[in-house]
Amino acid sequence: MEEVWKDINLASLNDHNTSSSSTSSAAFIFQDFLARPFTINTTSDPPPPTTTSPSPSPSPSLSPSPAPPQSLTALSLGSHHRHINNRNHHFHHQHPAPPPPPPLPPTSTPKLPYPSSPLFVDTLPCSSSLPCFPTTKRFPEPSSDSSPTLDRRNKRMIKNRESAARSRARKQAYTNELQLKVDHLLEENARLKRQQQQLCEAAANQQKKKSTLYRTFTAPF
């Protein structure tokens, strides 16, 4: 079931990426990805249902959907969610909360063409550039927090991630540089040792020759 939630998230993110003129930087994808559900939360009234909450059945939370007219696909999507929620509810009570996905993303971005629900899962384009990060704990629970706080937290999280990535890159670059230097120095060391040995031998040979030298021309006597 988690894969379904993941796929839905990725699909919504994919479509948003293609519809917006974004750069391909991962940071933007993160920010965008994290920002989207919260803008949807503020525009739509009910928080998406979580499967760990035991008592509320999925249908009441989905039924007060936003006023704007829903397309048939959105409705079918909603029923699909309801179906999944029901199944989760029955079989997996201890199932960790999948990320409360935006259940009705088409309402906020009406230009996204969502296929009807039976085909929904199959036709999800999974972009290779998207990181499939674990979806549970990263998502703060939609609560009565004001969205500016969430935005600030998300921005900080993103910046922290970028900084961590830069640190990792720095560390690896330094290690590689040291490795290159070690190789280079070992090679130079070996070469110099060989050279020194050759010079020593040459010097020794020369000394032997000198011992055989004696005056012949400078002093005839």
Partner 1 sequence: MPRSTNPLVISRVVGDVLEPFTSCVGIRIVYEGNTEVVNCSELKPSQIIHQPRVEVGGDDLRTLYTLILVDPDAPSPGDPNMREYLHWMVTNIPATTGATYGEEVVAYENPRPIVGIHRLVFVLFRQMGRQTIYAPGWRQNFNTRDFAELYNLGSPVAAVFFNCKRENSPGGSSRRR
Residues of the shown chain interacting with partner 1 in the complex, contacts defined by CB under 8 A: 159, 162-163, 166, 169-170, 172-174, 176-177, 179-181
The residue among 79 and 163 lying less far from partner 1, judged by its C-beta, is: 163
Q: How far is the CB of 176 from partner 1 (least distance, A)?
A: 5
The residue among 50 and 155 lying less far from partner 1, judged by its C-beta, is: 155
The residue among 87 and 168 lying less far from partner 1, judged by its C-beta, is: 168
Q: How far is the CB of 7 from partner 1 (least distance, A)?
A: 24
The residue among 119 and 173 lying less far from partner 1, judged by its C-beta, is: 173
- One-letter amino acid at 175 equals T
The residue among 95 and 166 lying less far from partner 1, judged by its C-beta, is: 166
Q: How far is the CB of 195 from partner 1 (least distance, A)?
A: 20
Q: How far is the CB of 178 from partner 1 (least distance, A)?
A: 8
**Cα 120 versus chain centre, distance:** 24
- Residue 69 has what DSSP assignment? P
The residue among 31 and 88 lying less far from partner 1, judged by its C-beta, is: 31
SS3 sequence of the chain: CHHHHHHHHHHHHHHHHHHCCCCCCHHHHHHHHHHHHHHHHHHCCCCCCCCCCCCCCHHHHHCCCCCCCCCHHHHHHHHHHHHHHHHHHHHCCCCCCCCCCCCCHHHHCCCCCCCCHHHHCCCCCCCCCCCCCCCCCCCCCCCCCCHHHHHHHHHHHHHHHHHHHHHHHHHHHHHHHHHHHHHHHHHHHHHHHHHHHHHHHHHHHHHHHHHHCCCCCCCCC
Q: How far is the CB of 34 from partner 1 (least distance, A)?
A: 16
Q: How far is CA 214 from CA 140, 206, 209, 217, in A?
A: 96, 14, 10, 9
Q: How far is the CB of 188 from partner 1 (least distance, A)?
A: 13
Six-digit token pair at 145? 């927090």
